[in-house]
Structure 1
Amino acid sequence: MLLELVTGQRAIDFSRLEDEDDVLLLDHVKKLEREKRLDAIVDCNLKKDYDCQEVETMIQVALLCTQASPEDRPSMSEVVRMLEGEGLAEKWEEWQQVEVNRRHEYERMQFRRFDWGDDSVYNQEAIELSGGR
């Protein structure tokens, strides 16, 4: 909900497919945050009438609240403290490291999935020789 408030966009928006691959607001914001494009995240109706540091804090807290594992998400009391300026830097640093590791693992899995080695060529020939079923 916090991401929807900051961006002025819906959580799922298929119209984004015209410009990019991210249908989910979460993926869209993560990408823009990695690129340090906060201006592209914030609702354009605000016409740059906002405090950049406050927006960055809100985005970081929102992303911490969207972690896949519920155990990793901050409690509401932690969210309040982070919005007040306590403990966000440590949690954010930890989350970024986890995200980097997750992205690297995903990229390795994608590489392995499409790495057609010699064995797969051999198996392909065997399939072709076996004929239709």
Structure 2
Amino acid sequence: MEVVYAVCELLVAAGAVVGNTLVIAAFRREKRLRRRTNYYIVSLAVADLLVGLLGVPCALLASVGLPDMLYPCLFTLSLLIVLCTTSIFSLVAVSVDRYWAILHPMGYSRNVRTKTAICESIALSIPKA
């Protein structure tokens, strides 16, 4: 059963890395994609990319009982929690942005600037310990 779990985790990680890398590459390449909402989407893609690159290996290590010393174990589990929480907060930011844009379209276009979206996206992408 552990082998099936590890294979599934690795498939999810590979999908997350490939998919989110494509999202980030498309955003960087196409200037037309650089809109307010898409900065939040890229923030989510960066957070999910980090989960795929760092979070899933930490989860696999924790599932087999590695590392077995206290501080490295706490570090890997803390890193996993921080990365997943960052991803969740980025998803919340996308949801709030879309909710506000749909419910209050005039106030949204008047009050929300691209610079604000960029700053919030960067703040969400930086893991806080």
Q: Same fold, TM exceeding 0.5?
A: no
Structure with the larger helix share: 2
Q: Which has the higher contact order (CA 8 A, sep 6+)?
A: 2
- Provide TM-score, normalisation by structure 2: 0.32
- The structure with more radius of gyration: 1
